[in-house]
Amino acid sequence: MPRPIRCALTLVALLAAASPVATLAQEGGPDGSAAANVIPMRERVQVMQRFWDWKRENVLPEIMREQDVDMWIVRNDEQPEYRQTSYAEGPFYTSLLPANHEGMVLPSQNDLEIPRFLVFYRQGERIEYAEPGDYDQITELVRSQDPQRIAIGQSENESMLEALAEYAPRTIDSRTLGTRWLETMAPEQVSVYRHVQRVANDVIAEGFSNRAVVPDVTTVEDLNWWFRHKMLELGVEKENHPSIGIQRKPAKIAQYADTDAPELFRRGRSSNGADLTIRRGDIISLDSDIMLLGMVTDSHQHAYVLEIGEEDVPAGLKNALRVVNRMQDLYAAEMRVGRTGREIVEAAEQLEWEEGVIETELGFHPPPMFLRRFTVNGLMFSRGTWVSGAGSSSGYKQHLIVGNDHVVHANTLYAFEPHTRVAVPGWGDNGVELGVGQIALVTADGLSYLSRAQPGDAWHVIR
């Protein structure tokens, strides 16, 4: 039976336990301090490499013991089904490739080219490393070590099976091992991810203010590109273009029918790409990310544009956000170590809904990750992000190392994004849909938010 990650990784759980879930009241809300502290690119690469050096030393031996694997052979041309289209290397290979402190890939032990094979094998409590130059050397190495279980890629592996000869029956698919390797976080990664989420929160708080929005003048696309430009100014990257939608009362949809076609609103909400003018009384909903230090956020947040004469967000909308956050906490309690994504969703579907909920659904997936590494001739590996771990659906885009049959483990991170529709007076039969998405940490004690964006009834307010 697989054994859980233990001693080397317990610091992550201790870090989480020492950092209680923060609220806007405790932190004073996003104040721009995190966004003002984005480190230079060279330092970012060095920090990222330090994460992966720690993982090689600590995570790799633990997960090989956990999965009862004695040897892991990684080819430089495997995993076409795990990588994004047009990228030559898979995430297992790239993330295990030796590199110096600035992410420069080291030459092979055999020649000046990048290694063709990476082999990791257990020697007592240690993991030894080798770079066989060809399949004959793999045969020699395997026979000298006599491993009982060998993890290999399953795509186009006929030559590998032939080289393993009498050891071929001892092979298993490396998918689970590789997924565990990628998804398990170093303590520093968890700590720094908290900062990255706060940078994202700072950016959104500024964008959801009168510094970026003039009611009845600013359009959805104006705001979309404001976010992109703000990221450029800060020197942070992104995985996706921001996605912004407007939720509008039925009476307001009718009021502005001449300029904003009612058919642009489905169940009271517009989709991204509808370039509407932001009106007073609107709810602005954002789905956006930033990418910093190899970490990608996935933030869903909401702002309300005050009507003339309003001093605060209406009571009905404040109550709706409180209901949404209570539902999110109920969902969070179902994110338990040892459950598959499918089991978590099934448990969530049995929950009793909070009063006023029209419909609700749990959504979660691992956050995209990125590793910046270069060859000496300037070629950059990992030009795309990868995602690995458990999800609430059967997959995540083309990242096939995400699945709802994968088990949730401790010391892993998730984009936690339930969506709930709540009845609010004046907002019609469809009510208001709110999903406050953010990055969350799973430990043996359950799920906790890294930097909760909109706790309680804390709306972003545009005046």
The answer to whether the beta carbons of residues 366 and 180 sit under 8 Å apart is no
The answer to whether the beta carbons of residues 353 and 360 sit under 8 Å apart is yes
Whether the per-residue pLDDT at 18 is higher than 60: the answer is no
For 27-44, give one letter per residue: b (16+ CB within 10 A) or e.
eeebeeebbeebeeeeeb
Whether the per-residue pLDDT at 45 is higher than 60: the answer is yes
Whether the per-residue pLDDT at 11 is higher than 50: the answer is no
Alpha carbons within 13 angstroms on the beta-carbon side of residue 371 total 27
Query: Of the ranges 362-376, 378-392, 407-421, which one carries the lowest mean pLDDT score?
Result: 378-392
Q: What is the pLDDT of residue 397?
A: 59
141-159 mean pLDDT: 95
Whether the per-residue pLDDT at 388 is higher than 70: the answer is yes
For the record, the structure tokens of 344 come out as: 């978590």
Whether the per-residue pLDDT at 197 is higher than 70: the answer is yes
Question: Which residues on neighbouring strands pair with residue 390, listed in sequence order?
Answer: 403
Whether the per-residue pLDDT at 100 is higher than 90: the answer is yes
With a pLDDT cut of 70, the percent of the chain lying above it is: 90
Task: Provide the pLDDT confidence category of residue 231 given band limits of 50, 70 and 90.
Answer: very high
Q: What is the pLDDT of residue 19?
A: 35
**Sign of the C-alpha dihedral computed for residues 165, 170, 173 and 178 taken in this order:** negative
Q: What is the pLDDT of residue 313?
A: 98
For 141-179, give one letter per residue: b (16+ CB within 10 A) or e.
bbeebebebbbbbeeebeebeebbeebeeebbebbbbbb
137-146 mean pLDDT: 97
452-456 mean pLDDT: 92
240-272 tens-digit pLDDT: 889 999 999 999 999 999 999 999 999 999 988
Whether the per-residue pLDDT at 225 is higher than 50: the answer is yes
For 202, the enclosing helix (H) or strand (E) is: helix 187-207
Say how far apart CA 313 and CA 306 lie, in whole Å.
7
402-421 mean pLDDT: 95
Whether the per-residue pLDDT at 24 is higher than 70: the answer is no
Task: Provide the pLDDT confidence category of residue 10 given band limits of 50, 70 and 90.
Answer: very low
Say how far apart CA 15 and CA 388 lie, in whole Å.
23
Pick from 243, 245, 166: which is nearest to 432 by CA?
245
Q: What is the pLDDT of residue 92?
A: 92
Say how far apart CA 427 and CA 407 lie, in whole Å.
40
What type of residue is 132?
Answer: P
Whether the per-residue pLDDT at 12 is higher than 90: the answer is no
Q: For the chain, what are the domain ranges?
A: 7-44+185-462, 67-181
Say how far apart CA 23 and CA 456 lie, in whole Å.
8
Whether the per-residue pLDDT at 8 is higher than 80: the answer is no
Q: What is the pLDDT of residue 284?
A: 98
Q: What is the pLDDT of residue 394?
A: 66
For 135, the enclosing helix (H) or strand (E) is: helix 135-145
CATH superfamily for domain 7-44+185-462: Creatinase/methionine aminopeptidase superfamily (3.90.230.10)
422-434 tens-digit pLDDT: 999 999 999 999 9
Pick from 117, 184, 183, 119: which is nearest to 150 by CA?
119
Task: Provide the pLDDT confidence category of residue 109 given band limits of 50, 70 and 90.
Answer: confident
Which DSSP symbol is given to 55?
I
Side by side, the strands of the sheet bearing 412-416 are: 364-365, 412-416, 438-443, 446-449
Task: Provide the pLDDT confidence category of residue 327 given band limits of 50, 70 and 90.
Answer: very high
Whether the per-residue pLDDT at 21 is higher than 90: the answer is no
Whether the per-residue pLDDT at 28 is higher than 80: the answer is no
Average pLDDT, rounded, for the chain: 89
347-362 mean pLDDT: 97
For the record, the structure tokens of 47 come out as: 């920090």
For the record, the structure tokens of 19 come out as: 């950092």
Pick from 286, 267, 257: which is nearest to 462 by CA?
286
Instruction: Please report the DSSP string for 287-340 in residue order.
Output: EE--EETTEE--EEEEEEEPPTT--S--HHHHHHHHHHHHHHHHHHTT--TT-B
Q: What are the C-alpha distances in Å from 390 to residues 55, 81, 201, 367?
A: 20, 17, 25, 10
Instruction: Please report the DSSP string for 368-407 in residue order.
Output: PB---EE-TTSPEE--S-B--EE-SSS-BTTBTTEETTSB
Three-state DSSP state, 354:
coil
**pTM, whole model, 2 decimals?**
0.88
